[in-house]
Chains A and B, each alone.
Chain A
Amino acid sequence: MKTWVYIDHFKGQALPASWEAIGAGKNLGTVTAVIFGQNVEPLAKEAFEQGADEVLLVDDASLLDYRAEAFCASLSKLVAATSPDVILFPTTTRGREIAAMAAIDLKTGVMVDVTAIDLQGDRIVVTRPIYAGKLFCKETCSSNPQIVTLRGRAFLKPKAQAGRTGTLTKASPAMGEADIKSKVEGYSTSESGVSLIDANVIVSGGRGVSNNPSLIPPPGLDEKQAEIWRAQQGFTLVKNLASTLGAAVGASRAAVDAGYVPYSHQVGQTGKVVSPDLYIANGISGAIQHLAGMRTSKVIVAINKDPDAPIFKVARYGVVGDLFQILPALTKAFKQSLGK
């Protein structure tokens, strides 16, 4: 099968999901990476190293900033000329949109946000979540090319091979600047913090977070204030890991009740019910009231010094240890792996 893989990037920085798409494409046959932008030839080198056999590059000032109609038009024109069997996209804001619009030009369909790809003869049959993941369906498309967007982290990135190269073909954009109706006027960062309900990753703290014996509270605090001070120190460790992972901060009822953290952070039967991809529970025993609020999380990690804590019954990974040592170490380890 001839598979094209759209490499999504922002200002020349590829989104890692694009390499996962190359990985998925390799399983189907030969892979041609498609790169649109301006001054993005370095991405071609990366694409070869990530496993692309060919690279189709359209490098033009009109493609410096993403504009749906321009990117779509160029892709459709190239596809019409060459007829790949399959086009894979990462499910990013741009990837989804280009796929959607190219499908209209090419009179075909798009299978969106898939978690698995199966090849049956010359037809791809995908698995994808529907109804917010309450159900899954198998989907297939009767027309060509078969266009698929891949869910992030569902497919393996290939191992990069330094120095690997392939065939680079350069092409021109399909639209001139004058014909493109939309104008990009600038970029900004958005202020919104991660809300618990929408978060993909949550790092939570429970009562155990306040019990760091090695912390000496400043003088002048009474017992209750000292406990809160200790807890806030502990929650700082929780927040540091959360911010490294781009995660929301959650808490058990015990932590909220004791005043360590506001009620809006409470996860549980009487707080918020969440279902993130990753839930890291620190110093939380795992009583049913808390579990009811996070039990459907995809991967649960528990850090607790009590080996019999019920939380370990639902956790995928656990550490029986001192969270005041493990948490900062974990934050450091992630900072290194995620390159932060």
Chain B
Amino acid sequence: MDFSLSSEHQMTQRMVQTFTQKEILPVIKEYDRKQEPIPFALKRLGELGILGICFPVRYGGQGMDFLSLGLACEELEAADTSLRVAMSVHVGLCGLTLLQWGSEEQKQNFLIPLASGKKLGCGVFTEPGMGSDVASMLTSAKREGNSYILNGEKMWISLASKADLALVTVRTNPASSRLSNGLSSFIIELDTPGITRGDIHGKLGVRAGSTGWINFQDVRIPVENRIGQEGEGFTITMSAFDHGRYTVASGATGIVRAALEASVRYAKERTAFGKTIASHQLIQEKIARMSQDYEIARLLYLQAGWLMNQGVRSTRETSFAKKFATEASFRAADAIQIHGAYGYSDEYDVERYFRNARGAIIYEGSSEIQTIIQAGYALGDRQEKPLRCELPAYDPVLWQNCE
């Protein structure tokens, strides 16, 4: 069993790290304080191909694999969560779901601009009254001839005001036997008449990110934009969450690492009681725990990414990775304790890691939902039927070919 990263993977990780060190780290504190996105960040992610890292070249992507996606997310979030959130929604929720469930025509029309970074995508599921209970969503889509008319409100949507395209799940059948069977998913252009959107401020963390709401008022969407069949929306949404969850897991691993590195640096400088605090065992305990957590989180997400490469459904492994890494990243708030009063000030980065980390335990499938999923697998209660559409396995030849 070869646990080492290939030369390609190492170079990918180094390239993304160089980018964040040169262009993001010098300015992130300023924008986090202002609660504004870094103006050039998304554009640069597009220009460097990071927004299309794991899509086939013939769909406008860079032809790298899912491990590369994870490694890129780890590096991006080690700099700031806002960058990884963009990847989660653009690549995870929107792009990869299109790759898995979209028709060839939809991939040509929508995946190519997304993967090439020309258009930004997001995932639209959550509503003011609904988060974990996806099946109970209220936003409706009524079939009228060759269109659907959408009405309703979506909330807590990352890149709501910045994205061009959205993968949206809505209720098409209010009278279905089971709530979850009445949902359908669409790929929607966010400049369609009737769509309004706005930003939400005042978040505890991810302040350099863009989170918002999207309102649909009699929005007419062509039937060609429906992904898959009517009634498949719930299943499609669960696929979307798997992809997003993988990026959250790999990203949170980056926070653990960043907190660990900051703590090691500080502990070796600061002295108390005649020696560096790194020589004191209670500080060593925190650092040991962070370093162990980093190893575990890393191995878990790499395993999930490897399964994705094989074309094997990895809901269970991704759930382990997401729950563990996000909770570990919040635990890595021990870094604040190590920094003492300085950790409590935004002069140092560790309080930002703490605030950013807290969100991931809530979104993309809360820790509670992950627990239910994992128990379901362990008890044998989760009967997984093969999906009508699977995420394609990574095939370097096929994915790097232009035709």
Within 8 A of B (CB), among A279-328: 288-289, 292
B377 at the interface (CB under 8 A from A): no
A270 and B269 contacting across the interface, CB-CB below 8 Å: no
The chain B residue sitting closest to A289, CB to CB, is B342
> In the complex the two chains form, is A292's CB within 8 Å of B269's CB?
yes
Kindly state whether residue B14 has any CB partner on chain A within 8 Å. Answer: no
The count of residues in chain B whose C-beta lies closer than 8 Å to any C-beta of chain A is 10
Q: Given the complex, which residues of A lie within 8 Å of B30, measured CB to CB?
A: 263
The one of A253, A270, A288 in contact with B270, judged by C-beta atoms closer than 8 angstroms, is A288
Q: Which of B26, B29, B269, B349 contacts A288 (CB 8 A)?
A: B269
Tell me how far the C-beta of B205 lies from the nearest C-beta in chain A, rounded to whole angstroms. Answer: 19
Residue of A nearest to B271 (CB): A288
Cβ–Cβ contact A253 & B269, under 8 A:
no
Set of chain B residues within 8 Å of A292, measured between Cβ atoms: 269
Task: Considering the complex, give the chain B residue whose CB is closest to the CB of A262.
Answer: B30
Residue numbers of A with Cβ under 8 A of B are: 253, 257, 263-264, 269-270, 288-289, 292
Bound CA span A288–B29, Å: 21
Q: Is B133 an interface residue (CB 8 A)?
A: no
How distant is the Cα of A263 from the Cα of B25 in the complex, in angstroms?
12
Chain A neighbourhood of B266, CB < 8 A: 269
Chain B proximity of A44: nearest CB distance (Å): 50
Within 8 A of A (CB), among B340-357: 342, 347-349
Given the complex, which residues of B lie within 8 Å of A270, measured CB to CB?
A: 347-349
Per DSSP, are chain A's interface residues mostly helix, strand or loop, or mixed? Answer: helix
Q: A305 CA to B270 CA in the complex, in Å?
A: 26
Residues of B within 8 A of A263 (CB): 29-30
Q: Which residues of B contact A253 (CB under 8 A)?
A: 347
For residue B29, which residue of chain A has the nearest CB?
A263
Q: Report, nearest first, the 10 A-B pairs whose CB atoms are least far apart.
A: A270-B347, A292-B269, A270-B348, A253-B347, A288-B269, A263-B30, A269-B269, A288-B270, A289-B342, A257-B347
Interface members, chain B 384-398 (any A CB < 8 Å): none
What is the chain B residue whose CB lies nearest that of A271? B347
Interface string of B251-293 (1 = CB under 8 A from A): 0000000000000001001100000000000000000000000
Q: How far is the CA of A292 from the CA of B267 in the complex (A)?
A: 13
| CB-based nearest B residue for A256 | B347
| 14 additional A-B residue pairs with CB within 8 Å, beyond A264-B26, A270-B348 | A253-B347, A257-B347, A263-B29, A263-B30, A269-B266, A269-B269, A269-B348, A270-B347, A270-B349, A288-B269, A288-B270, A289-B342, A289-B347, A292-B269
Kindly name the residue among A257, A263, A270, A292 whose own CB sees the greatest number of chain B CB atoms within 10 A: A270
User: For residue B349, which residue of chain A has the nearest CB?
Assistant: A270
Pairs across A and B, CB under 8 Å, 6 listed:
A263-B29, A269-B266, A270-B349, A288-B269, A288-B270, A289-B342
Report A303 CB to chain B, min CB distance, Å: 25
Closest Cβ of chain A to B385, distance in Å, is: 53
Flag B317-343 by CB within 8 Å of A: 1 or 0 each. 000000000000000000000000010
* Cα-based distance from A288 to B267 in the complex (angstroms): 13
A244 and B349 CA atoms in complex are apart in Å by: 36
A257 CA to B270 CA, complexed, in Å: 22
Q: Which residues of B contact A264 (CB under 8 A)?
A: 26
Interface string of B89-114 (1 = CB under 8 A from A): 00000000000000000000000000
